[in-house]
Structure 1
Amino acid sequence: MMVRVQQEDFDVGVETTRLRLQYPQAGAVVSFTGQVRDLNDGQSIASLTLEHYPGMTEKSLAAIVEQAKQRWHIFDALVIHRIGTLPPQAQIVLVIVVSAHRGDAFAACEFIMDYLKTEAPFWKKEVTPEGAKWLDERASDHAARERWQ
């Protein structure tokens, strides 16, 4: 399991290949890449700034991946989350799950993202033509997380 919080961009192809080649017994590699939207709630987005709690964020992400490993038969998972100020269409997050079968890989990947959105200590600030604002948690993110209970 690998968890990274970084300012630098990532290469989805390189990261996927690196993880996939470690597990020749894998039959499924599932990934999710999140990116900065250019619109949110009808407003244009000039940039998104992501802040985190160093050390605590990585532990939180590792705990989420560990929960996924306990629920599904997966070989490994990678989570990369970016911080700093990012423009629209910049990649924010990458989750890759490797498993023997696609069902476990899809479920674990979705679970990791649903929990990441509500459990990992990240703060987001959008800059719009009207100014900057910190974003509140979304009810839809909590609803997505609750379905795993």
Structure 2
Amino acid sequence: HSIAAATTVLLALVGIGAMIHEPVLIPPLAASAALVHSAPTLPLAQPRNVVIGHLLGSAMGYAVLAAAGSSAWAAAVAAGLTLGLNMLARTPHSPAVATAVIIVLQTPAPGRFVPLLFGATVLLVLTGYAASRVRRKAPTYPVYWW
């Protein structure tokens, strides 16, 4: 059931992207879906970590992009700084580190990318919540909201 739920939400992200002609499914969101649906009790999978972690990753990605430009070197710095920022904010979420890398290497327009990222993370959390209510023996998700 968790595989079906994760696949369904990822397909929904692809469908949304197709409708608006924007890539909404990015690799870090697939990793987030895996955490939410296969390890729902881990701190890394909790809503605060998923949503805020990705938003902090995007902020750091755009900050490094503005300061250093787009390069693999800058992407590595953005990843390390995102890890530190997420730990400082107590929102560790490893896929969010990859979000910073994607931003530095792909340079998406922030006015489109950040709202789509936010919506996608909220959708991941909501499908995790719904899936945990449907499956009888599944762990309750989330363990905590904030």
Shared fold per TM-score greater than 0.5: no
Of Structure 1 and Structure 2, which has the larger fraction of its residues in strand?
A: 1
* Max Rg structure: 1
Provide the TM-score with structure 2 as the length reference: 0.36
Of Structure 1 and Structure 2, which has the larger fraction of its residues in helix?
A: 2
